[in-house]
Chain A
């Protein structure tokens, strides 16, 4: 068991290192002079040199790479070119929006997806199943950012229940802040919920035809009890494997939806950084996203082994 974990961990660290190297090469080594790229064609050689010195870009690439990696642990990720503040602090500040947004969306998509998928399987081939499956096709086809815009149109501009965008900050107004995250989280969750519902339905249908479901019914459990106590866990094990992939899409989705709702999260920061050619900021942000996706995938892999007793390592 310990050996297995160490192997997994080593693989994970290696993947993260390679990811960091690729990002570093693409953003800082391949363009030639990142300082010149950030300042654009009109900059004078003197000002470019000054910026290079200010951002610490004149050292050898290998040293800069190692310094950058170390920065992820010390928090010293350099200065943002456009904001002129520490990148580490900027990221930490913006996480207060992106983390709750993605967790809320993840929770919503899981609850909606699993409930709808289970309902559809329990009523397979009946009208409610057809309706749910039709809705999931729509959910997969509608772009999440358009759905977000429609939600704004109806619930913010039309009914005025929610803010159309913006974020007051947790300290300033916690309840309005929470409400500001609801519509974007819902828009973000919708395509994920649709795809989870489809997968849940098919694994649930397969599970419901298993012998142990009949055993449970023979024991006196009702259909609903059988689904909740015996089928759900078995049906969700395969669903878990795709959850990691789902999370990658969700993360990418936060970038888009933070921009739809003008939320000051990492995604908006990233798009602003791109607009300002702020390579220093882009570099750390992209690695942050990619590393999160890779780490979550690894965790899901491990969770899979825990959820299915047949795969638990170290037991007979």
Chain B
């Protein structure tokens, strides 16, 4: 067995993530009920053989909604991290390439500025303009991710550039962009994956918050954050509605956080503390 699996954080994270991905994939082909089907006669039912986790205020099946919610959450994380990764790494490497010059200063200052806007407020700015919706929320979270990746990418690039073999590659006649892509990018990939895992967790939490506030995912698309907002209205009469979606968010975030921690340890034994 690969020793990576024996790392406690990595192992636990991988198992939890498999669970979430499994749920998302399963929801593509099968859910116990149609997650959008409303049955007014079966409103706010407690768990039963028919509805394992009960039904919401419209009689929709909670299990089905949570399964489809996994798809939504993973999609949010993927896109938000993707935006941050592509723009962040490109900008970070660009800044490192022109280290100390105007472009470096300008890019990093601009990114510091973006970073000063909490993600929720960026989202609010975007959606007052375009209207609330999942896409706009994800773009906002992605924008917040850009400076996070850019700082890491810049620092990591500078570290790699200082090493001898990069100088050797330059001397061998490779152009700067070629050195960047062929030698530096593979070297910072590990770090970016670690950061990506953490930002993935952050993105899921941020989307859940926005959807809870009613400015993220819009109905009828199922979102765990949205489900919690609905559940709060019926907290006194149907408390079970508030448990499962929150648990789903927590498990998914935990999976990516653990995975990120584990990867960091595995990629850099010096960082290991345990």
The answer to whether any beta carbons of A and B sit under 8 Å apart in the complex is: yes
- Scan residues 276-316 of chain A and give those whose CB is less than 8 A from a CB of chain B: 277, 279, 282, 286, 289-290, 293-294, 297
Residues of A within 8 A of B132 (CB): 274
From B21-29, B61-69, B179-187, B212-220, the one touching the partner chain is B212-220
In the assembly, what is the distance between CA of A294 and CA of B116, in Å? Answer: 6
| CB <8 Å contact, B253 and A27 | no
Residues of B within 8 A of A141 (CB): 201, 249-251, 253-254, 257
Residues of B within 8 A of A260 (CB): 212, 232
| CB <8 Å contact, B116 and A153 | no
| CB <8 Å contact, B124 and A270 | yes
- Scan residues 249-274 of chain B and give those whose CB is less than 8 A from a CB of chain A: 249-251, 253-254, 257-258, 273-274
| CB <8 Å contact, A157 and B250 | no
- Scan residues 215-257 of chain B and give those whose CB is less than 8 A from a CB of chain A: 215, 225, 228, 231-232, 235-236, 239, 242, 245-246, 249-251, 253-254, 257
| CB <8 Å contact, A145 and B129 | no
**A156 nearest CB neighbor, chain B only:** B235
Given contacts A15-B116, A31-B129, A149-B228, contact A143 B208 (CB under 8 A): yes
Residues of A within 8 A of B236 (CB): 157
In the assembly, what is the distance between CA of A31 and CA of B129, in Å? Answer: 7
Task: Classify the secondary structure of B's interface with A.
Answer: helix
Given contacts A18-B113, A26-B129, contact A252 B118 (CB under 8 A): yes
**B106 close to chain A: CB less than 8 A:** no
In the assembly, what is the distance between CA of A279 and CA of B124, in Å? Answer: 11
| CB <8 Å contact, B129 and A202 | no
| CB <8 Å contact, A145 and B113 | no
Given contacts A138-B250, A143-B208, contact A282 B117 (CB under 8 A): no
**A271 nearest CB neighbor, chain B only:** B213
- How distant is B207 from chain A, measured CB to nearest CB, in Å? 10
- Scan residues 17-32 of chain A and give those whose CB is less than 8 A from a CB of chain B: 18-19, 23, 26-27, 30-31
| CB <8 Å contact, B125 and A274 | no
**A116 close to chain B: CB less than 8 A:** no
Given contacts A23-B125, A286-B121, contact A149 B246 (CB under 8 A): yes
| CB <8 Å contact, B116 and A297 | yes
- How distant is B266 from chain A, measured CB to nearest CB, in Å? 17
In the assembly, what is the distance between CA of A263 and CA of B76, in Å? Answer: 29
In the assembly, what is the distance between CA of A249 and CA of B124, in Å? Answer: 15
Contact with B along A33-53 (1 / 0, CB 8 A): 000000000000000000000
Can you list 10 A-B pairs, Cβ within 8 angstroms, ordered by A?
A: A19-B117, A138-B254, A143-B246, A150-B246, A153-B235, A252-B119, A256-B209, A286-B121, A290-B121, A294-B116
Q: Which residues of B contact A (CB under 8 A)?
A: 113, 116-121, 124-125, 127-129, 132, 201, 205, 208-209, 212-215, 225, 228, 231-232, 235-236, 239, 242, 245-246, 249-251, 253-254, 257-258, 273-274
Q: Which residues of A contact B (CB under 8 A)?
A: 15, 18-19, 23, 26-27, 30-31, 125, 137-138, 140-146, 149-150, 152-153, 157, 164, 202, 205, 248-249, 251-252, 255-256, 259-260, 270-271, 274-275, 277, 279, 282, 286, 289-290, 293-294, 297
Beyond known contacts A137-B257, A260-B212: 16 more, CB 8 A cutoff: A19-B113, A26-B125, A27-B125, A31-B129, A137-B254, A141-B249, A142-B249, A142-B250, A146-B228, A150-B242, A152-B235, A157-B235, A252-B120, A260-B232, A275-B214, A290-B116
